[in-house]
Structure 1
Amino acid sequence: MFEIHPLYSLAGVAVGLLVGLTGVGGGSLMTPLLVLAFGFHPTTAVGTDLLYASATKTVGTAVHGFNRTVDWKVVRRLAIGSVPATLVTLLALAYAGTKFDGTEHVITVTLGFALIATAIAMAFRRQILAYYADAIDAMTDGKVKRLTVILGVALGVLVSLSSVGAGALGMTALLVLYPKLPTNRLVGSDIAHAVPLTLIAGMGHWAMGSVDFGLLVSLLIGSVPGIIIGSLVSARIPDHVSRAVLAGTLAIVGGKLIF
């Protein structure tokens, strides 16, 4: 029987609400929260957060799918790259764990770099979007597709190692690649793509023994209602409001990471 921790459940509510509303805040907020505020080992935080993200984003995908705020073409393109990359990364981690003693250190270092990259993407999102706007407008759909698959590969590796990237980094890249799509459809697509990505990565970490199921259950109790509320609100607010909420969320998460 798992012991339920109310404080962890409250953290799940807050993070679930942000994920449902913006597609951002899962790994980039929950993983450092578990490590820095609650004192969990980075490897345990990564593995538990991946299964937590899979469960919460499955609920979010159902809500976004019902409201038709998922672009399945974008999801397929991302998954073509991310699923094989995730499997290869997990196999590499499993092999390294049997041959070397520094696997946990690799995960910890990757988590640190992922958090720094996330903070940069958050701090300079507007400049990034403006810098690439003209180049993206001139691109053919085929090139956008290839770049989306490459993005999926990068997210598959990064998320498998650190649980960070599917939300903040993925959303920034999607906003660059698909500037004409409404934000709530990109949010829904980002959440839908994260389901197979985090599930496969989370199962791999489970097999390696780096999942705390008491923590997982506590987080899910709070996050499921949180992500339902956030997803419902996301589908019913104007696009410019959604963009403002997304920017505010990125700034808050970036502040947490920096300070």
Structure 2
Amino acid sequence: MDLLSTLAGFLVGTIVGLTGVGGGSLMSPLLILLFGIAPATAVGTDLWFAAITKIVGGTVHHRQNNADWTIVKRLCWGSLPAVALTLWWLSSHGHKAESGGMIVRVLGVTLVISALLTPFRRRLALRFARAEGARTDAFLRWQPVLTAAAGALLGTLITLTSVGAGALGATLLLMLYPFRLNAKRLVGTDILHAVPVALIGGIGHAVIGNINLPLLGALLLGSIPGVILGAKLTDRLPERVVTPALAVVLLIVGLRLLK
């Protein structure tokens, strides 16, 4: 199991470094479906996996200047309070939510939405970018508030399911900042915002008791070299190849969880 866990960590880490997507979107379902881990423990373990993996990947992207720190701060205005509120709710209702299958259902729905949005991120961004005149001025005025609201949505989903920082986060950022973020800065910004969210969420889940430390160690053994490799490959593999393949995988996994 340790070898399989390490291999899974390497593959997911590579995808995270390459696209900014795939951490929670792939790791939590793998832990639930392949390793038979309880959903709440899978989420808590995956949040620590995501935090440590994305610290490494984020460091690489930061050194390559692939991040917009102003946007990261705006997202954190909404996401960090949302993480705290979601952890408080889980500490009171977590067992009920898990026994009723709510975590798995929310995870499955989030994956399906992520899969459907992923191939159309650029088209959605272009549609939002076509606004002119007064609409553009109003959008720019509300942009910080809308970014914080997007952060609140992501913080809630990440803490509850460990999914949202990648596919959904990238889609929201493209709609909010269609011209400001190119592909590399989109990935870097998305990854760096996910670090404090996953870290705080992971600490909260650890306090609640939702973490499997031996499994986490095996996953990280593969993910750290994987995320470094993926970050280095960002300029070499075309997005038109990686994105559709990832969308198909997310859709299959999401539907499998909803069965």
Quick one: which amino acid aligns to residue 189 of structure 1? T
1:84 maps to amino acid: P
Aligned residue in 1 for 2:199 = 199
Q: Which runs of 4 or more aligned residues in structure 1 lie more than 6 Å from their structure 2 counterparts after TM superposition?
A: none
| Distance in structure 1 (CA, Å) of the matches to 2:240 and 2:195 | 23
**1:99-129 Cα distance to aligned partner (Å, 9 max, x none):** xx51323323322332232233235545533
Per-residue CA deviations over 1:47-77 (Å, capped at 9, x if unaligned) read: 1000000000000111001111011111111
Question: CA 1:135–1:32 in 2, change beyond 3 Å: closer, same or farther?
Answer: farther
What residue in structure 2 maps to residue 19 of structure 1? 16
Superposed, which structure 2 residues align to 1:105-144 within 5 Å? 105=100, 106-122=102-118, 124-125=120-121, 127-135=123-131, 138-139=136-137, 140-144=139-143
Residue 39 of structure 1 and its aligned partner are, at CA, apart by 1.6
Question: Contact 2:112–2:250 (CA<8 Å) still a contact in 1?
Answer: no
Moved more, 125-134 or 76-85: 125-134
Letter in 2 for 1:169: L
Distance 2:148 2:74 in 1: 5
Give me the whole-angstrom Cα distance separating, in 2, the residues matched to 1:243 and 1:76: 29
- Taking the TM superposition and a 5 Å limit, the aligned residue runs for 1:241-252 are 241-242=238-239, 244-252=241-249
| Structure 2 residue matching 1:138: 3-state secondary structure | helix
The residue correspondences of 1:151-190 to structure 2 (distance < 5 A) are: 151-180=150-179, 181-190=181-190
Identical-residue share of aligned pairs (%): 45
Letter in 2 for 1:138: T
Task: Please name the residue that 2:92 is paired with.
Answer: 95
Shift of 1:130: 4.5
Give how far 1:36 is off: 1.3
Letter in 1 for 2:246: T
SS state of the match for residue 200, structure 1?
Answer: helix
Displacement of 1:220: 0.1
Amino acid at match of 2:118: M
The amino acid across from 2:156 in the alignment is V
Q: Rate the CA distance shift 1:110–1:258 in 2: closer, same or farther, 3 A.
A: closer
Gaps of 5+ in 1: none
Q: What is the total number of aligned residue pairs between the two structures? A: 250
Deviation of the 1:24 alpha carbon: 0.4
Cα RMSD (Å): 2.2
